[in-house]
Structure 1
């Protein structure tokens, strides 16, 4: 595994950019895919958003200042691309974000790439009722087992605010599941 500083230097150098970018993609594509997939829910949409994410990373690597870890920066791009995708999809279809999220969950049951059980579908329906930030924090903490400090870097939010968001998300999910 190449050190992050060396990889960043290679990404910024025209002579080594292509090879370094291939390493970057191979190293992070799976984790980023699952992060995106938990937001957009559909496999094909997640692939599209992942591709857009890597295009943005490639085009903007020169501007990466190193204020955060490279992965946190990429995660932030993936998160923003995912949320933008949902907003654009809801505008195109002329329905609210909430209605779109409900349809996305309903489509999960027909998605051949979704291997979840009935309880996973219920959990996704509960997550669809959460505000975007609570959903993001829950996904990062619960599914990806990220530490609050890492989530703080990605979402540029204080650890205290993240703990509150996670706690609220868990309570709302519990309430939703008990009511069902």
Structure 2
């Protein structure tokens, strides 16, 4: 049986971000989110394959946003709006790709010793012990270098962008702080 509480905890924040990007205020976002959770609760029994639950939830959410606009006086749902809704997902694929590109640019601007530590451990999958041997450092020195590199990367990212994370540490939303960021 599917545990609703776990599902709500897992998708609540990404759904809220997804909805908020499409409506104009927090109250409407909360209302739509509650309607989505109610529809999930009422229809969860129809899911036969747990692997298909996220697309199903996304479809409910997308329809709820479209329904919201249909009920607004004077709002016209255009074909472009529906195409945009069909293209988007709430699972953060686009956000992760965008922030990933930004991180690559930031890494290139790190001091050489930090850039090398991150590239070797994060992209070439060297352990910190292997990094220490490769660079001729003690294990403690290698761990410190990786931690400092990560801290510097985070500092530069947060200088340029406001980033929102879920409770697992995954990026769920970001916004550039200014238009003249040299990284994004």
Normalised to the residue count of structure 2, the TM-score between the two structures is: 0.44
Larger CA Rg, structure 1 vs 2: 2
Structure with more of its chain in strand, by fraction: 2
- Bigger fraction of residues in helix: 1
